[in-house]
Structure 1
Amino acid sequence: MHRANPVPTPHEIELKLEWAAGPITDLLALPLFQRAEPLPERSGTLRTTYYDTPDLALRQAGLSLRIREWDGRFVQTLKAEDADQGLALGRPEWEWPLAENRLALDVAAATPLASLLARPGLTERLAPAFTLETERRVFECAHRDSLIEISLDQGRVTAGPKTADFTEIEFELQRGDVSSLFSLARDLADTVRLSLLTKSERGYRLLHAPEVEAAHAAPILVPPTWSSADAFRTIARSCLLQVVRNEEVLRRTRAPEALHQMRVGTRRLKAAISLFEDMLDDRESLAAMKDLRWIGKKLGRVRDVDVHIDTLRNAGAELDPEALAKAEKEQVRAYAALLKTLEKPRFRSAILRLAAWIEAGRWASRKKARSARSVPAMDRARRELGCRWKQIRKATRSLTKVSDGKRHRLRIRIKGLRYGIEFFSATFPGEKAEKRHRIMRPILQDLQDELGELNDLVMARQLSPASWDERMAARRRKRHLSRAGTLAGRLEKAKPFWSRKAAGTGKAP
């Protein structure tokens, strides 16, 4: 009935791109598809059925199980989501050719599905959850020293009475280095959008619309023995993933929190770049930073309006309804303009260029920066965090006496340090380092928040001068300055977790 052993394809690495708009003929006319070799024997109509229980036990376990029919042949596939997902999807995968369109569960004994199948009654509850019908065109392209398979899919997902159409391009690495996927994708940068959405996710969203939430920064693990190059790629990848995930949420919901977290992602990436700037001084890196500043500027304008509205709504008895109504109208206009920007080729291209730069940029191979790239992560973190720590502690000693502009710049520096200690929190092992980290982090966060409240007052005066209440603002300014001064005193007493004494070692082990 079926083969007892899976086909040996344990891991796939693919880059997903979403075709933004226009007829498919425009896409096929691009130079990349003109030079790629068509594979008609791999192309055709794919009919795929995904299986799960009514309570979605497989999805909750991070698994997808499907049977795909193509040209009269059937293949059963199990995929597991990679916990350390990058900008290119890397997922363990098991495949079994079947003789008929029927699940063969006994072959999954050596896979993560086995533990689920052992649950009483689960096998009996497995049933078709949704289907996909896809017209696939497959190409093969040699690039650098790699071989890449390109699949162009026009599909429709169906879950009960609901349907949704999609067009996506998948670059799957057949041989070579993952950086080649991004290098090749540059040829499509003006016409596609980087996507993290799998086909199974499309079906599950249609089947059971999840509560859409903004994506917060994911924990980052940078071991002390890693090189600076490895550390930067991991950190930068995580930051851009936060931007991409929240962009997708923002386009669907217009949620201010998604905008905020998207902007946080850009700021975290800026902070990462500053920590590794000695190895990022080439022309391509400078262009990437320019793209990042442009994105941040577009997001910042709308975020300022959001913050202003929050300030007005939290005014309590001093609320100005007229000013609030005016600000809310401005918010609607600002979001409409931003959503148009997200659909523009310049924005889509900027995101894809940033991804390509992180994964396949010239910074990773330039001879001039070789020594900077090889610096151990622990040594770099100790140097960079220590320098920023000294500057910030010195600046906070005169916190109440400086101008609004200087306080705002100090807040940005504090935020950069806070992101830095998040990036390198796992780089310094030991109880003493962990304790110092737990003490320092909330102090920096609270101080950043107080300085943020002070900056919000400055922005509120600029955005709504007609409704500005100087007496109310003076009371709030005094309160936040007092709190900031207290926090500055606590910061003065805090000890760095990256010190040699705290980490228990002088050099990276």
Structure 2
Amino acid sequence: MNMNLDHELNLSLTPGVAGRLAKHSLLSEAAPTRQRVVSTYFDTPDQRLRRERVVVGYRKSGSEWLSSVRRCGRPLHRQAKTAEWEAASEPGELDFSHVEDESLRAWLESLRDELQPAFTTSFTRSAWLLEPRDGVRIELSLDRGWIEAAGRRQPICEVELDLVAGGVADLFSTAGKLQTELRLHPEAANMIQRGYQACVDAPRQAVKALPIATDGRMSTISGFRTIALACLRHLQSNEQGVRESDSPEFVHQARVAIRRLRSAIRVWKPLLPADFVADFDPLWQALAARLGDTRNWDVFNSETLPTIIDRFPASPEVARLADYAQRRCAMHRQAARQALSSLDYSRLLLDFPARLLDLPEDTEQRLADFAPRCLQKRAKQVRRLAAEAMDGDAAARHRLRVAYKRLRYALEFFAPLFSGEALRQYHLAASELQEVLGRLNDLSVAVQLIDEALPDDQRGDLCCWLEQQSEALLPELGCMLDAFRQQVAPWKRTASAQLDLSPIATSPSGASPLAV
């Protein structure tokens, strides 16, 4: 999802759907304009401009050439703004005299000799100015063409909705009306980001969650909105990998993104409208379940099964189990691909942020006051479940694992509000404990999957051995629990020592104080 949600939406579509766009009722009374747009973007060989979120390009629109420089606001930086400068120019002449930011202009001048073409976009743009109601104007652009980089070509077929006048609700309402008749999918990466991806001749890599720059002065709802949108970016950064790759890590990261989002919904549930939670939490839960089945078989096939084969190398039951696991992996991977290719998923990616951005603002309560209470509540739940887990069964340990995950996610959401070594040590201890609980959970799930795969008379030795492995981990779990109890909860320190209420302090890359 393009995160300039206050004024812009990018949606992909197939060429067949693009051919039907002009016949949609919203466009029937608007006359389109058409132009050929060719743009070349420049960077240094090590892509310094990309890292600093600066875009330098030349664009030919009709017969005119324009030189443009754009400095993009960092998505993690609440106060950052995007600035852009354009001027008529001759192609290939890197002239930065029109850049009003003196430090940026000087930096670009220092790199002039290193700049070279990185990629080119070439497309035909058909544009309509829509006026769905009085006072609302939205420019709809259909772009069809190519991105070319390093001798490779990728197709462009996308719709951009740009809010000229009106509110963000009008933008989403228009997109929703288009989506009722046309298969449109909200996209996370814009054309420039895809151009840079095309420069790299390497397999796509799964994307982990990035730090989220929350701020103690935010209202509670503003904090929730920031976190939820970051979770959507995390999910969408991995969705293409789920659809096109066999790498288990894409499914894993997509599932983590949804778990983090659902954890945020749980944290803020007392402050959210009941219908918002009731409408969306079940949808995210259902999607997580479909990915969860895939993840369970991935872990079993890649991590647990090899240890079983080593222990029972000549077992015919293990051979049958391996064959069954491979088939189940393929079946569930296809189900995950279908889930992230479905119309329901595309609609959810429009409906959820639309309602998210429309949540009523709560200006009375700051995040700095809200965070400690939330963390203390989750820590208390963890302590209660920890006492049950050591003497309980696999289900009790699973409940503890879920509670620890929710505590860790909440700690990561609020990390920029706290400072000091206590925060890092607490997070590290929680992560290490969660790792042990994860290994125990994998063994428990493996027993369930073997129960599914083999008849009663063929699984006894395998399940018994797996249960022995679980028992052997319990002393380590006990030590980890003891170590975690010794940690100082960072939110319990004095308010002046713990809460960072200054403007967000980030590194040059936009990272928050706790790298997660």
2:231 maps to 1:239 = yes
**CA distance in structure 2 between the partners assigned to 1:12 and 1:155 by the alignment:** 27
**CA distance in structure 1 between the partners assigned to 2:68 and 2:87 by the alignment:** 6
Match of 1:476 in 2: 469
When normalised by structure 2's length, the TM-score is 0.84
Match of 2:508 in 1: none
Match of 2:356 in 1: 358
- What amino acid does structure 2 have at the position aligned with 1:170? E
Cα distance, 1:113 vs. partner?
5.6
Asked whether the equivalents of residues 68 and 76 of structure 1 are also in contact (C-alpha less than 8 Å), the reply is: yes
Cα distance, 1:241 vs. partner?
0.9
Cα distance, 1:109 vs. partner?
4.9
Asked whether the equivalents of residues 417 and 500 of structure 2 are also in contact (C-alpha less than 8 Å), the reply is: no
**CA distance in structure 1 between the partners assigned to 2:278 and 2:24 by the alignment:** 27
SS at match of 1:75: strand
When normalised by structure 1's length, the TM-score is 0.85
**Cα deviation 1:291-325 (Å, max 9, x = unaligned):** 21121111111111112112112447315454234
Cα distance, 1:176 vs. partner?
5.2
- What amino acid does structure 2 have at the position aligned with 1:14? E
**CA distance in structure 2 between the partners assigned to 1:382 and 1:50 by the alignment:** 46
Match of 2:379 in 1: 389
Match of 1:77 in 2: 68
SS at match of 1:498: helix
**Cα deviation 1:454-482 (Å, max 9, x = unaligned):** 22222111212334613422321112222
Asked whether the equivalents of residues 418 and 444 of structure 1 are also in contact (C-alpha less than 8 Å), the reply is: yes
Asked whether the equivalents of residues 10 and 187 of structure 2 are also in contact (C-alpha less than 8 Å), the reply is: yes
Q: Alignment RMSD, CA only? A: 3.0
Cα distance, 1:507 vs. partner?
12
Q: Of 425, 429, 433, which residue of structure 2 is paired with 1:443?
A: 429
Match of 1:287 in 2: 279
Match of 1:7 in 2: none
**Cα deviation 1:362-413 (Å, max 9, x = unaligned):** x326xxxx5xx63211211111111111121122123222232232122111
**CA distance in structure 1 between the partners assigned to 2:499 and 2:161 by the alignment:** 44
Seq. identity, %: 25
Q: Of 277, 288, 311, which residue of structure 2 is paired with 1:318?
A: 311
User: Aligned in 2, Cα 1:388/1:457: closer, same or farther, shift over 3 Å?
Assistant: same
User: Aligned in 2, Cα 1:106/1:223: closer, same or farther, shift over 3 Å?
Assistant: closer
- What amino acid does structure 2 have at the position aligned with 1:327? A
Asked whether the equivalents of residues 491 and 498 of structure 2 are also in contact (C-alpha less than 8 Å), the reply is: no
SS at match of 2:87: strand
Cα distance, 1:93 vs. partner?
2.2
**CA distance in structure 2 between the partners assigned to 1:456 and 1:128 by the alignment:** 45
Q: Of 157, 163, 167, which residue of structure 1 is paired with 2:153?
A: 163
Where in structure 2 are the equivalents of 1:250-289 lying within 5 Å?
250-289=242-281
User: Aligned in 2, Cα 1:484/1:50: closer, same or farther, shift over 3 Å?
Assistant: same
**CA distance in structure 2 between the partners assigned to 1:65 and 1:141 by the alignment:** 33
- What amino acid does structure 1 have at the position aligned with 2:161? F
**CA distance in structure 1 between the partners assigned to 2:6 and 2:84 by the alignment:** 7
Which range moved further: 46-55 or 297-306? Answer: 46-55
Match of 1:458 in 2: 444
Match of 1:501 in 2: 494
SS at match of 1:82: coil
Match of 1:149 in 2: 139
Which range moved further: 257-266 or 45-54? Answer: 45-54
2:427 maps to 1:427 = no
SS at match of 1:364: coil
**CA distance in structure 1 between the partners assigned to 2:306 and 2:82 by the alignment:** 45
- What amino acid does structure 2 have at the position aligned with 1:301? D
2:348 maps to 1:331 = no
- What amino acid does structure 1 have at the position aligned with 2:305? L
Match of 1:19 in 2: 13
**CA distance in structure 1 between the partners assigned to 2:319 and 2:134 by the alignment:** 61
User: Aligned in 2, Cα 1:22/1:85: closer, same or farther, shift over 3 Å?
Assistant: farther
Cα distance, 1:248 vs. partner?
2.1
SS at match of 2:490: coil
Match of 2:40 in 1: 49
Cα distance, 1:22 vs. partner?
3.1
Match of 1:340 in 2: 338
How many residues are paired up? 479
Q: Of 162, 183, 187, which residue of structure 2 is paired with 1:195?
A: 187
**CA distance in structure 2 between the partners assigned to 1:508 and 1:121 by the alignment:** 43
Cα distance, 1:486 vs. partner?
1.4
**CA distance in structure 1 between the partners assigned to 2:81 and 2:96 by the alignment:** 25
Asked whether the equivalents of residues 12 and 93 of structure 1 are also in contact (C-alpha less than 8 Å), the reply is: no
Cα distance, 1:281 vs. partner?
2.9
Which range moved further: 414-423 or 283-292? Answer: 283-292
Cα distance, 1:130 vs. partner?
2.6
Asked whether the equivalents of residues 40 and 117 of structure 2 are also in contact (C-alpha less than 8 Å), the reply is: no
Which range moved further: 472-481 or 299-308? Answer: 472-481
**CA distance in structure 2 between the partners assigned to 1:292 and 1:170 by the alignment:** 26
**CA distance in structure 1 between the partners assigned to 2:501 and 2:134 by the alignment:** 35
